[in-house]
Amino acid sequence: MSAEQSKSAESLTCPLCKQNNACANVLSTNGEQACWCANPDISFPKGLLEKLPAADRGRACICQACVMAFKTK
């Protein structure tokens, strides 16, 4: 696996649950597909973002399932 493939695979893995994060920003080859996180009804609470280890911040997106699970707690 090349370094670029490894980075892409890492970018598609939710740092919290380790499942696929379905990031359309990474998957889109032309930048025309909007990611689920671009939905104006979606927000990332500060408490959820604080759960990320410092080493994982800015490296991969949290998945929609983790966002919704956090909001229902």
Query: What's the pLDDT tens digit per position in 40-71?
Result: 888 899 999 999 988 888 888 899 999 999 98
In degrees and rounded to multiples of 5, residue 43 shows phi and psi of -135, 155
Whole-structure pTM over 0.85, yes or no? no
Q: Contacts for 40-49 with beta carbons within 8 Å, 24 or more apart?
A: 42/67, 45/70, 45/71
Q: Which residue has the higher pLDDT, 67 or 8?
A: 67
Domain that holds residue 54: 3-71
Cross-strand partners of 14: none
Domains: count for the chain: 1
Q: How do residues 12-38 score in pLDDT, each as one tens digit?
A: 899 999 999 988 877 766 666 678 888
3-state SS assignment for residue 20: strand
- pLDDT of residue 3 exceeding 60, the answer is no
Name the token pair of 14: 């939710």
pLDDT for 11 = 82
